[in-house]
Amino acid sequence: MHKSPRRNKIALAALAVLLLATACGPEGSSPIGTAHAAEGIRIAAPTAQIVEPKGVQTAVFAGGCFWGIEGVFERVKGVTSVESGYSGGTRASADYDLVSAGRTSHAESVRIRYNPDIVSYNDLLHIFFSVTHDPTQLNRQGPDTGSQYRTAIFPANAVQRKAASAYIGQLNKAGYWKKPIVTKIEAFAFYPAETYHQDFMKKNPNHPYIVTWDKPKVANLKRLFPDHYR
């Protein structure tokens, strides 16, 4: 039977709601995050000194669902904007349906614009490893599994690449986690995600996934980094 335009619109709206409800946490998936992922971990700041270029800079990180990482860095002083997107694959296949199905080599990521006079790249690395995710989880975070949820850093320049490599080495040597860090340093790439993913935590503060997995990360930022929290 032919569907009316109104029924088609209702069906599309229902599908959009379903996608939003399951985007980063498929219904029925089992929680597999560690204590570090849920509670944050107090670790030493990077010790390697860096000199960054002047003016607003860009950092790109991946560590599970981009909603929570975006929400954390939006609360950091000196960060001027945060955008959810995809890194590690091609522009042509940077599409949520493809990425979430594991059909591309992308990772869900965030692009952070920041003022290094207020918050340095080393500060961002410190926060990234402390409160946004568990860097020892291979291709999984919280309830989400697949290489699209891997932990990775996409340096925008040689200074960032050197800083990220040095900090991973420092953290592995310190032994804060029982397992080794699996965070990879990959070639810089970023393609913005669909509009409905942007500022998702701000727009949907009571979404079950946000309440369960992401609000605790923001709380950990406030607890562990009070001087950086806004």
Q: What angle do CA 120, 69, 60 make, to 5 degrees?
A: 50
> pLDDT band at residue 15, thresholds of 50, 70 and 90?
very low
Which domains does the chain carry? Answer: 5-224 (3.30.1060.10)
**Can you tell me the distance from the alpha carbon of 218 to that of 17, in angstroms, rounded to the nearest whole number?**
25
Strands (E), the chain: 57-63, 79-87, 107-114, 140-141, 144-145, 151-153, 184-185, 191-192
**Can you tell me the distance from the alpha carbon of 17 to that of 31, in angstroms, rounded to the nearest whole number?**
22
Q: Residue 183 corresponds to which tokens in the numbers above?
A: 């965070």
Q: What is the mean pLDDT of residues 95-100?
A: 96
Chain-centre distance for alpha carbon 175: 23
> pLDDT band at residue 38, thresholds of 50, 70 and 90?
low
Known catalytic residues are: 65
Coil, helix or strand for 202?
Answer: helix
